Amino acid sequence: MLTMVSRVVVKIGTSSLIYPNGQVNLQTIDRLAYTLSAVKNSGCEVVLVTSGAIGVGLASRRMTARPKAIAAQQALAAIGQSELMRLYSERFSDYGTTIAQLLLTHDVFDYPLTKQHVLDTIQTLLVQQVIPVINENDSVATDELAHRTTFGDNDQLSALVATQIEADQLIVLSDIDGLYDKDPHQFAEARLVPVVTDPAALAEASAGGTSSRFGTGGMVTKLRAAKAMMKAGKQMVLCSGQDPRLVLQVLAGEQVGTRFGQVKEETR
């Protein structure tokens, strides 16, 4: 049985979608489609924030290293985004679910009119039981532009989307299964922190960089996302993206990964 969560945002990182050898993890994509379709069918509204465009672009071009040139990265993002959506469309269709793509830049949320248009679109899709699939528009978003376009990473984007649409919970699927009291890559005695209820504690948490050459996120960005959710009075759960079916356990109220925010006991 799911918890009182009626609207959830699920974010999945590149490291969960791409194997270390650079190939696309089709099993993860299939399990993600199955899981989010099951959640939608239960009556809970779902929004997916996905990374992976450049990673999929690298795989489709049979490249093993991310290019340094911004234009080359943007070209890969354009190639990979269409392929990523093709994979998502196929897998979600297998479970009877319709999805819709939204590519966003920060400007959208900086201006009230465009922000309202996006929020209206998301709301309409959810009413129609369509799952919005959101990604940053990497083909046009760049720090080199004169105006602000980038979110910096999809962790920040997912928290912004979750707070703007008043989602009850943000679930971040990552290559790390939660927040630890020490860096688990360096200390064997590191212990998982199951619950964080005080935003001030996040400043003292250990934070490392991304462990994948295909992604741009890291623990720092995830803690920022958690802080944004807690400030809004919402929850965020950080857990492993190795098997997206964990989302069902999170929504059932089971202890999975690290839960940021006050724990709610109610069920429906």
Edge-to-edge, what's the strand order for the sheet holding 258-260? 99-104, 131-136, 45-50, 7-12, 169-174, 235-240, 258-260, 195-196
If we measure between CA atoms, which residue out of 91, 60, 45, 54 comes closest to residue 73? 54
Find out whether 150 is annotated in a ligand binding site.
no
Find out whether 174 is annotated in a ligand binding site.
yes
Find out whether 209 is annotated in a ligand binding site.
no
Find out whether 143 is annotated in a ligand binding site.
no
Find out whether 154 is annotated in a ligand binding site.
yes
Find out whether 215 is annotated in a ligand binding site.
no
Find out whether 82 is annotated in a ligand binding site.
no
Find out whether 219 is annotated in a ligand binding site.
yes
Find out whether 163 is annotated in a ligand binding site.
no
- Burial status of residue 46 (CB atoms within 10 A of its CB: 0-12, 13-18, 19 or more): buried
Find out whether 218 is annotated in a ligand binding site.
yes
H runs (alpha helix) in 42-69: 53-60
State the helix-helix crossing angle for 112-127 and 154-164, rounded to 10 degrees.
80
If we measure between CA atoms, which residue out of 252, 95, 65 comes closest to residue 171? 252
Cα separation, 25 vs 150, in Å, equals: 26
Binding site, annotated residues for ATP: 11, 174-175, 216-222
Going by the annotation, the residues of the binding site are 11, 51, 138, 154, 174-175, 216-222
User: Annotated binding residues for substrate, as ranges?
Assistant: 51, 138, 154
